[in-house]
Amino acid sequence: MMIEARPRRQKRSLAPMLAAACWIILVTPRLTAQTGVAAPATGDASAPPAFEVVSIKPNKGDSMMSRIMMTPDGVSVSNVPLHGLIREALAVSDDRLVGVPGWMNSDRFDIEAKVAADDVPKLKTLTPQQRWAMFLPILEDRFALKFHHETRDLTQYVLVIAKSGLKMKEAKPGDTYANGMKGPDGAAHPGMMRMGRGEFMGQAVELAVLVRQLSFHFGSTVVDKTGLTGKYDFDLKWAPDEMEGAAPRAPDSGQPGADNPAPPATSGPSIFTALEEQLGLKLESQKQPADVIVVDHIEPPSPN
């Protein structure tokens, strides 16, 4: 899996308010993406392998380009803030990760992590989230991460099929996407997703990928209750807020929240309306108790 991204403004204050323009190309492996999947217990024969070699270096450059690439024997990270890595390793959205110090958003790192040669075949069998869970021991060892769980009331979003019916096109095996998004090799591939200000575009991606990116966009958990299991092509376009960082209006509500000023008038639909009209999906908000991860301690990485 490869992600190339320009940092964007997040929906919650935990993430830095960076440039709104953002393009991400996501190449998913031929594995089912899962969210919140716990790694098997230590000693389990099916447990993910540990990284044998880990190099962590601060990135002092002024580039606004970040890259995360899942390699055959591990992972390569370039110019990525620690906040994003912790969020992925723990499989949580921004609203479920609290107590984050400011330097986790501002300081960026280059990380190269590899498993032993004997573990490469096993690595290929892991889901994306199991691969990300392998990062947790690195965070605990090299960044002295300590955290605990709490239950707090949070507003979450539930994704369902709209009453008008599903409007996304289901991808078929063998689709070539001659005019679609292209990877680093110059060829168009299934399983790619591009994200930018006011646009999500995917070709042959599982809905779990879109759901996860919606969670990042809102900074709140999005729960998939569509029951859809296929892979889909879509091009979602909406009129972003001027800052694309303020909390969005709740779905089915004509008014912004009390602490969220109304965005300026736009010529296009909100993301909630676009989801329903263009993809046949609907977001419904609900407030309920949720598991939250509180960061108790974290520090700059120990030397290599």
Return the pLDDT at 44. 55
What is the pLDDT at residue 242? 52
Sequence-distant (6+) residues with CB within 8 A of 4 are 23, 24, 25, 65, 66, 67
Burial of 75 (0-12, 13-18, 19+ CB in 10 A): buried
Residue 283 pLDDT: 95
- Strand pairing partners for 233? 169
pTM for the predicted model, two decimal places: 0.60
pLDDT, residue 239, reads 92
- The per-residue pLDDT for 215 is 86
Which pLDDT belongs to residue 288?
A: 85
In sequence order, the 6+-apart residues with CB closer than 8 A to the CB of 142 are 54, 56, 301, 302
Domain ranges in the chain are 2-297
The residue ranges of the chain whose pLDDT is under 50 are 1-43, 243, 245-265
How many whole angstroms separate alpha carbon 55 and alpha carbon 61?
A: 18
Which residues are 236's β-sheet partners? 200
Residue 8 is predicted with a pLDDT of 37
Please give the order of strands across the beta sheet that includes 199-206. 53-58, 108-114, 74-81, 66-71, 2-5, 24-27, 192-196, 199-206, 231-237, 169-170
Q: What is the pLDDT of residue 5?
A: 40
